[in-house]
Structure 1
Amino acid sequence: MAQSMSAHGIAALPRNYELFYEAMSGRLPHLSQDLASLGTNPAQDALDALGLKHHLVAHAALAADTIQAVAEEALGDMAKLLKSALAQKRTFKDELDHFAGRLDADPVASLSDFADDARRLREAIGRLTNEEGALQREFEASARRFAELKSELAENARTLTRDPATGLPNRLALTAKLDAILETEHLDQSLAVVVASVEGLRQMAEQHGGTVTAKALAKLSTLFRRSIKKNDFVARIGQQEFAFLCRDVSADNAEAIARRLQQQVRDLRIALPGRTHTVETLSFTAGVTMAQPASTSDELLRQADLALSTARSSSGIRSYSVILGGDGAKTYGHHAA
């Protein structure tokens, strides 16, 4: 990948590695097209703009730095206006003190002298009013800008926990959700973790490009959202890996859910552009594990991954057991009911 980046004139920065990988992997078809449109030797600013546009994780820090810089600039402008307004207030106070001193020193001063003092006071009030008005406008503009920054920060936070290609939660969000369930809910209800691989997505990206892959991912994300209960959870955790948290289910229930998903994925038909009667199909393998009272998220995901690795060899569904492959592990193949 480093050699390919060098050939395209892309600097070996960590965020560029992520950008180039995501573009080449087929996970984000539109990113692939946008990057290709930049040609060779693209400017770093253009690359960063793509990373921000497609909400890549490595660019979240860059977005945060930009937001911080804007906020600091806005606060600096307000501080300057406030300093100027305070200076005008001191000037006005000095004029009042001067006027009061003249009255004390000469109560019967001429009208012309009073007129001069009144003019100076009026001018000082005018300058003070102008500064106060400018400060108020700056505060209002900054309040609007800070509201925009708050929205951008919220979007930045969503970027860290969302898969950009499907809109599903990502592995970070999955781990946080699982930790929350294990730590705060104390498993009052049984919990199953299903880690699945949709076989064929990688080959589809390599053979047919990003547009077909994007269509397949859209169908899969819609299918998975509709196939789980309201309080369950689905995330995309890899190029073709997904994970499900299923509440209040037994081991048999979890296996039945995985088998149903397997059949639904097998029934999907992905049309190819320009080929009316040619479609692509996908397959689904999964590893299932059940949470125990002392379970941790790392342990459960490791168990499910181990079961998935075994399931891949038989294109089926594998349930985790202490001795994987023993009597406690069940495998469901293509023809399981």
Structure 2
Amino acid sequence: MKWFAIFKTGKHTDSSGNEKQWTEKDLDKIVETYDPSKHEAPIVIGHPKSNAPAFGWVDKLKRVGDTLYALPKQLANEFVEMVNKGLFKKRSISLYPDGTLRHIGFLGAQPPAVKGLPDVEFKDDDQSATIEGEQFTDLEDAGDQKSDNEKIKELQKQIDIYQKQLSDMLAKEREFEQLQSKYAEIIVEKNRLEAELNKQKRESEEKEFEEYLDKAISDGRLLPKMKDPITKIFKIISLTPEFEFSEGVKTQSTDVIKEFIEKMPKLIDFMPKLIDFKEHKDQKSQAFDNEPVSKIVAEEIRKQMGNK
């Protein structure tokens, strides 16, 4: 709860015409004589005579300069809402004849007798003095205002909550970083395995194509010196695994080269000459018997190339 002003020094006249000059000493007497253990002054609406409900209680009084302040406690929620809505902008104090605080009354829209100054009203029926006035310029609304210590405690609770939220966020951030690191490791391993698999596949395809070229050479469709250039073409064209020559029809790149080779005519015809060993013997049997087969094959290749 927070202190709020209830009265000031000065000359005040009540509705009965009684006038008094209130000094700081008078305010000090009100503070000194207030003992909640003997009489706990209620906070009420208006100035009830008796048996009216209390919407709060006065815990302490103090004087600051020319102003008297009260510290409330146990304020009713509905009363706090009404005060905060501005339904009661005036405060009044009721004093016993000995100057002890009887109650603090919150008033509505009724204006005081003198603008800017508190009015003094002495009630004949109960011999208590009621002093009421306009809202003080430094008056602070009562309500759910907290003392500084209570505010500090509340702020500390909020700090603790924010610290826990921050700690949770940092923990999640560390977990996220760990997941990112694990994800990166998996991606690296996946790329490594894919590269290894592609390498094995490429080596297998190159080996298979090399065997195909060797057979094409042995069949006479290619010359041996064509093997390296065609192999280079194969490596380049194999970078694009498939070609689409017509809509919806895809062809393997290696099949394109193979189809080209298959349609080529034989460049060398080994069989007729290589199997006719008798003809060689008839012409030069002794020399033929002494020559190695590789030399004979080379000679036949030269002849065949000469005929092309």
Asked if Structure 1 and Structure 2 have the same fold, meaning a TM-score greater than 0.5 normalized by the shorter chain, the answer is: no
Q: Larger Cα Rg: Structure 1 or Structure 2?
A: 2
- Structure with bigger helix share is 1
More strand per residue? 2
Q: TM-score, normalised by structure 1?
A: 0.25
